Amino acid sequence: MSMFYESSAPAKNAQRWHSSSPARTPKDKKGTPELPSTPARTRFAPSPTGYLHLGSLRTALFNYLLAKRTGGQFLLRIEDTDQKRTVPDAEQRLLDDLRWAGLQWDEGPEVGGPCGPYKQSERSELYREHAEQLLESGHAYRCFCSTQRLNALAEERHKVGLATDYDRTCASIPKDEAEQRAASGEKNVVRLKVPDRYPTYTDLVYGKFKPLKRRSGDAAFEDPILLKSDGLPTYHLANVVDDHHMQITHVIRGLEWMPSTPKHIAMYAAFGWTPPAFAHVGLLVDEKGNKLSKRHSNFDISINGFKEMEIFPETLTNFAALLGWSHMEKSDVMDLETLVQKFTLKFTKGNTIVTDGKLQFLQRKHAAVRVAKGGEGLQEIVDAVLRLLDDPNGPYGNWYHGADTPARYIERILHADGENYTNAHEFIYRHAYLFAPLRKRGFKDVPQRIVEDCKKLAEVGQEDWEKEALKQKVQNLIDAMPEGRAGAKHVYHYLRVALTGKEQGMRIYDIMEILGREETLKRLSLEI
């Protein structure tokens, strides 16, 4: 979708509202908005009042995917005007977490770009200039009402069941008088003078949005504050001004921002600017429909929490992408590069349920991919496992006595069972029999003849100790049994419990090959 931007402000004293509806977005045969035909410029604009969570990561990801899918640019803007609530290390954590997830921005902090600065605290003069433009054009006015009066007004309206809007007491103050009072130091804010009916716009997810006309006779107006009494902008003004000057073409954000969109569309109209296209995606909720919170969900944790869980970045981006986005692929398993290639604007309406099962499923699938590819991804897994095994305070001291290096030993286990890997702790627990002597085993009704027959595995020499040879030897033992293949289940059951102490686990021939000839025969020779 082509977007055009006017660099000049509306003419002074202009009193009309400009047409502000964005161009209609073409849709495919299934009703999904088509991707723009020109490169999209998108942005992620977090506030450093907290750390990056799953929902905000998803917002960043969707904007990143649209930009990259269309050959456009993904911008990062820090909305840090709320200095009182700013967390000291939040900004750096945001940058680190985005990079960890692979979402490198094209313009923004530490990168620069033609539309900087990319921190709102460094753009205050720009916001004041634009507030003045709205005052000059009559689309904004200065409000001198005290906090006490506004609270009393809101309380009075709330009691009778009305929206706690403003009554425009200050809108009738002559402009010259208002400017003189402001110049003399009288405390005031700048409010947007909204129209009786907000302009219509089309949401890429929910379609045409036609706000209701203000009720006739209601003497209150929404009129949001644009510039606070301290001269700093509110979210509404800074957001619109920045998106225009940074030439943002598409904004993908959470459904909670949808009530603010008409105000923003109205402001674009007041400036005479074309707004970006908006897409509002549903909230993330738990299985009971509650918004994710520490009280109700394991998913209301910072990205650092997922790192501590040892979730891979490709797992988390894959997981986040599937929360409210639909695709036509046969598999849900996609790395970031694949997500870029397959991305469309097919978002689901309504909220999205977040479940742990899907996250763990994707983690196992991406672990298998890492193992198959080898290289850095596999090495990270091996290092995580070795750190736990080599912990001097852990239970696995002097855990390895094989011929391979410890790292190679772990790799062999992963190649045999990487498809079930979720994290180092679980991996070691599940395969504890490979890292420590077997202490307890339990057999049920195993004939002594089977025990003795299995010891014949010693006939397989060291040079032949590999899966195919072991498989053939066990098959020969089964074929020689009086009951033939009917006794196979007893053989496999005995071998598994004798070698692992467990009823279930990875393939028995992989276990024997990894344990090696000496350790396997040692365990088979133990008294039952």
Eight-class DSSP state of 29 = T
Residue 96 is which amino acid?
D
Is-catalytic flag, 467? no
228, 173 contact by CB (below 8 A)? no
**Per-residue DSSP letters for 201-239?**
EEETTTEEE-PPPPPTT---B---EEE-TTSPBPHHHHH
Eight-class DSSP state of 107 = B
- Give the integer Cα–Cα distance in Å for 204 and 220: 31
155 phi/psi in degrees, rounded to 5? -65, -40
Residue 422: count of CB within 10 angstroms of its CB = 18
- Give the integer Cα–Cα distance in Å for 140 and 275: 19
- Give the integer Cα–Cα distance in Å for 437 and 513: 17
Structure tokens at 348: 């689901």
User: Is the dihedral angle over the CA atoms 325, 328, 332, 338 positive or is it negative?
Assistant: negative
**Per-residue DSSP letters for 463-478?**
GG-SHHHHHHHHHHHH
- Three-state SS for 295? coil
204 phi/psi in degrees, rounded to 5? -70, -15
**Per-residue DSSP letters for 402-464?**
SSS-HHHHHHHHHHHHGGG---HHHHHHHTGGGTS-------SS--HHHHHHHGGGGGS-GGG
- Give the integer Cα–Cα distance in Å for 5 and 249: 10
- Count Cβ neighbours within 10 Å for each residue of 190-213 and write b for 16 or more, e otherwise: bbbbbbeebbebbbbbeeebebee
> Treating both helix axes as pointing N-terminal to C-terminal, what angle do 376-389 and 406-417 enclose, rounded to 10 degrees?
110
- Give the integer Cα–Cα distance in Å for 111 and 75: 10
Residue 267: count of CB within 10 angstroms of its CB = 26
Residues 6+ apart with CB under 8 A from 407: 382, 386
Strands 352-353, 284-285: pairing is parallel
119 phi/psi in degrees, rounded to 5? -120, 125
Structure tokens at 466: 């590999």
Helix (H) or strand (E) holding 12: none
From 294, 330, 440, 444, active-site residue: 294
The residues carrying an active-site annotation are: 294
